[in-house]
């Protein structure tokens, strides 16, 4: 009842043949090695928010601060810290720079307390105005061979100094009548010998300043 259709041959013979031994092309996907991060449409931010920071970088603020502080870039500038994060922790550029700014903000803040044995704290009254005392302490040659660089200069108010032994000192200048109250906080002094050495240095510098302004 049903007739089988006759098979027609040769209808595809005039079509071009595909080359043999050629592998199908695969589109190359660029792999940057970075985490999948949401890039905010705004300038770098030194306070990106705890939730966003953790979600986009995989680490909390305290972890990033400790990580950078324990690295070789702990006293470096923003650009070098950001590059360190990009190269070693696959952090995208925006987040790397924001973390670097966050660290720099933290680094310039005083973290001392009376119970912290790693901090040397000295207070002295210099018989002249804060601007003059400030200007005297901005001479890098004053601090000897261990001086690295000034981390922050806040006009007539604060100086933050980094030393080659990875310690840091913050000098605060406040008016006390017609005189200047100088507060020195030298941080990250790990041993009793280093604290004694730092105390001697600052006492000598303070005496030199007092002698100089008394002339």
144 located within any domain: yes
43 located within any domain: no
CA angle 96, 98, 102 (to 5 degrees): 115
Q: What is the pLDDT of residues 148-172, one digit of tens each?
A: 999 889 999 999 998 988 888 999 9
- pLDDT at res. 173: 94
Same domain, 65 and 102: yes
Same domain, 57 and 86: yes
- pLDDT at res. 113: 47
3 located within any domain: no
66 located within any domain: yes
Same domain, 206 and 125: yes
Q: Is the pLDDT of residue 108 over 80?
A: no
Look at residues 86, 107, 128 and tell me which one is the last residue of a structural domain.
107
The single residue listed with the structure tokens 């070098």 is 80
Q: Is the pLDDT of residue 98 over 60?
A: yes
> Going by C-beta distance under 8 Å and a sequence separation of 6 or more, which residues neighbour residue 148?
75, 161, 162, 163, 164
| pTM strictly above 0.85 | no
- pLDDT at res. 60: 87
User: What is the full DSSP assignment across 188-209?
Assistant: ---SHHHHHHHHHHHHHHHHHH
5 located within any domain: no
- pLDDT at res. 64: 93
Same domain, 192 and 133: yes
How many whole angstroms separate alpha carbon 57 and alpha carbon 89?
A: 9
Q: For the chain, give the mean pLDDT.
A: 84
Q: Minimum mean pLDDT among 17-31, 57-71, 147-161: which range?
A: 17-31
Please give the tally of structural domains in the chain: 2
Q: Look up the CATH number of the domain holding residue 152.
A: 3.30.530.20
**What would the mean pLDDT of 80-108 be, rounded to a whole number?**
92
Structural domain range at position 141: 120-213
> What percent of the chain shows pLDDT beyond 70?
80
């Amino acid at each position: 009842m049903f007739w089988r259709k006759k098979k027609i041959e040769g209808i595809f013979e005039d079509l071009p043949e595909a080359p043999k031994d050629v592998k199908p092309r695969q589109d190359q996907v660029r792999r940057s090695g970075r985490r999948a991060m949401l890039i905010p449409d705004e300038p770098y931010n030194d306070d990106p928010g705890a939730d966003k920071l953790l979600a986009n970088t995989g680490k909390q603020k305290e972890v990033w601060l400790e990580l950078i502080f324990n690295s070789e870039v702990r006293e470096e500038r923003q650009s070098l810290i950001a590059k360190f994060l990009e190269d070693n922790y696959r952090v995208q550029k925006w987040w790397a720079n924001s973390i670097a700014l966050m660290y720099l903000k933290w680094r310039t803040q005083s973290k001392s307390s009376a119970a912290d044995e790693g901090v040397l704290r000295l207070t002295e009254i210099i018989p002249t105005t804060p601007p003059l005392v400030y200007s005297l302490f901005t001479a890098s040659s004053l601090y000897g061979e261990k001086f690295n660089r000034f981390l922050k200069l806040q006009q007539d108010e604060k100086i933050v100094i980094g030393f080659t032994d990875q310690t840091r000192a913050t000098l605060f200048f406040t008016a006390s009548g017609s005189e200047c109250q100088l507060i020195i906080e030298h941080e990250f002094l790990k041993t009793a010998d280093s604290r004694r050495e730092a105390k001697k240095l600052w006492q000598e510098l303070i005496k030199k300043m007092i002698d100089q302004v008394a002339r």
